[in-house]
Amino acid sequence: MLQLRNQAQAEDAVQETLMAAIRGAKDFAGKSSVRTWLVGILKHKIIDLIRRASRERPLDLPDAETSLEDFDALYGEDGHYASMPAEWGDPEAALSQRRFFETLEGCLEGLPKNTARVFMMREVMGIETDEICKELAITATNCWVLLYRARMSLRACLEERWFAIGA
C-alpha cells in the first residue's frame, strides 16, 4: 500500500504474487522461509506495477519536495547542527522488534508521497538510483535530494517516536 497508494493496485500485486508463487512453487527450495520467498516475489511485482504506472502517468513532483530550504532550520549560521543529533544507543536491537517496524511504517506514511516512494524503491527494494531515475523519469539530482530528504526526515521521526522514548 505504501508503494502503490491504491487499493486495487495493491490487491493486483498480491494476486499476481500468489499466481507467480503457485507457478514457481517447484523453485522454492526451502532455503528461506515461505514468507521471505513470497515477500521477494511481491517486491518484483510492485516494481513492475510502478514501472507500468509511471509510463502511463509521469510523476508529479512539487517543488517543495525537491527544495531543501525547510531543512535550514536544523543548522546554525555556521552550517553546523543547531542541536546535536541524539545518540541512538544500540539500534540493532530494534530490528528484532515488530513494534519498531510499525513505527518505521508510521514515519514512512508521514513523508510526502514521492519522497516515500523513492525511499521505498531504493532502500526497501534495493533498486539502483539510476534505475529509479529512469523508471520515474526524474533527474539524478532530484533523486538524490528526495533520498536525502527521506533519510533526514525518517531519522528525525524515529528519534522522536522510538529512540528518544527508549522504546
Partner 1 sequence: MKLKLTCKEAGRLISEGLDRKLSLPQRTALRLHLAICDACTRIHLQFQFLRRAASRYPGPERDGGES
Report which of 110, 88, 70 is spatially closest to residue 159, judged by C-alpha positions.
88
Orientation of helix 98-109 relative to helix 140-158, angle to 10°? 130
Locate 23 and state its grid cell.
507457478
Compute φ and ψ for 11, nearest 5 degrees.
Answer: -65, -40
Q: Is 119 in the site for partner 1 (CB under 8 A)?
A: yes
Which stretch, 14-22, 48-56, 57-65, 87-95, contacts partner 1 (CB under 8 A)?
87-95
Q: Is 167 in the site for partner 1 (CB under 8 A)?
A: no
Site residues for partner 1, window 38-67 (CB under 8 A)? 39
**Burial grade of 3 (CB within 10 A; 0-12, 13-18, 19 or more):** buried
Locate 85 and state its grid cell.
543529533
Which stretch, 19-27, 45-53, 57-65, 119-127, contacts partner 1 (CB under 8 A)?
119-127
CB of 42 to partner 1, least distance (A): 10
Give the interface with partner 1 as residue ranges (CB under 8 A): 35, 39, 71-72, 74-75, 78-81, 84-88, 91-92, 94-98, 100-102, 104-105, 119-120, 122-124, 126, 129, 140, 143-144, 147-148, 151-152, 154-155, 158
